[in-house]
Amino acid sequence: MKFDVLTVFPEYFDVLHESLLGKALSQGILSVDVVNIRDYSKDKHKKTDDAPYGGGAGMVMTVDPIVSAVEAVDPNHDALRIYMSPKGRTLCQSKVESLAKKDRILLLCGDYEGVDERALTLCIDEEISIGDYVLTGGELPALVLINAVARYVDGVLGSEESTSEESFADGLLEYPHYTRPEEYRGLKVPDVLLKGDHNEINRWRLQKSVETTMQRRPDLLAAKDIAPFMPKKKRKHRS
């Protein structure tokens, strides 16, 4: 899976070399090309923004450096071209899963008040937000999207924490985790986790997940489709 990121702040993306994603990048399982939009400015001062027509506060990213950068990076429009935008559809896990099926994704990051609308008209397939709060630009949202999608790329996660198998616990909040020591400041690890009865452990974890989800995110329970986990109906047949 290949990402192209267009930004005027390429250093934000240095963080991709940390942790699990850094390993996937060095193994070539994942690739992220970060392109500085400034390199495509024809202006003698490499300017990439200007004052808004109609007036108002802030600056707007100019159309030509963006269109030139997109056309240089993706001349045949092979990539799904996404603009990280506060006006976009909010990213969710099912969207992350569908993005993970793409071979190539181009992410345009806006800064300041945003980009000239004509850059979106000419170049962009869809707009995505990461939630209803105000940030200073699209770089952190792009990192969030890459991080969420990369987990679905084969080889990024170990086989242990793989995203593949469907379970009743999907769409529920996590059960509590414990590791050594068995007791810390009088707080004990629940007995059930020490006894090694894995059926009992699984029942306990599922119960904790349902309990926590009911308390904190009842909306998740309401949205949950339990049909795949119900016993199959016996088919009626004649005589």
Nearer to ligand 21W, 53 or 133 (CB): 133
Nearer to ligand 21W, 136 or 179 (CB): 136
Shortest Å, Cβ 179 to ligand 21W: 34
**Spatial distance between the Cα atoms of 97 and 108, rounded to a whole number of angstroms:** 20
SS3 226: coil
Question: Which DSSP category does 137 fall into?
Answer: B
Is 130 a binder of ligand 21W (CB under 6 A)?
A: yes
Shortest Å, Cβ 6 to ligand 21W: 13
Is 138 a binder of ligand 21W (CB under 6 A)?
A: yes
What token pair was written down for 220? 């998740």
What token pair was written down for 66? 């963006």
- Is 24 in contact with 150 (CB distance < 8 Å)? yes
* Helical packing angle, 139-150 and 19-26, nearest 10°: 70
Find the binder of ligand 21W among 20, 29, 113, 157 (CB under 6 A): 113
Shortest Å, Cβ 123 to ligand 21W: 16
Considering only CA atoms, which of 27, 55, 48, 39 is closest in space to residue 158? 27
**Spatial distance between the Cα atoms of 152 and 114, rounded to a whole number of angstroms:** 30
Is 61 a binder of ligand 21W (CB under 6 A)?
A: no
Shortest Å, Cβ 234 to ligand 21W: 49
Given the rule CB under 6 A, which of 27-35, 71-79, 83-91, 147-155 is the region that contacts ligand 21W?
83-91
- Is 91 in contact with 129 (CB distance < 8 Å)? yes
**Spatial distance between the Cα atoms of 191 and 184, rounded to a whole number of angstroms:** 14
The number of residues that bind ligand 21W (CB under 6 A) is 16
Shortest Å, Cβ 52 to ligand 21W: 10
Nearer to ligand 21W, 7 or 213 (CB): 7
Helical segments of the chain, H only: 19-26, 63-73, 93-99, 117-123, 139-150, 198-216, 218-223
Is 124 a binder of ligand 21W (CB under 6 A)?
A: no
Given the rule CB under 6 A, which of 2-10, 21-29, 81-89, 190-198 is the region that contacts ligand 21W?
81-89
Is 131 a binder of ligand 21W (CB under 6 A)?
A: yes
Find the binder of ligand 21W among 7, 36, 85, 209 (CB under 6 A): 85
- Is 132 in contact with 86 (CB distance < 8 Å)? no
Binding site for ligand 21W (CB under 6 A): 84-86, 110, 113-114, 129-131, 133-138, 141
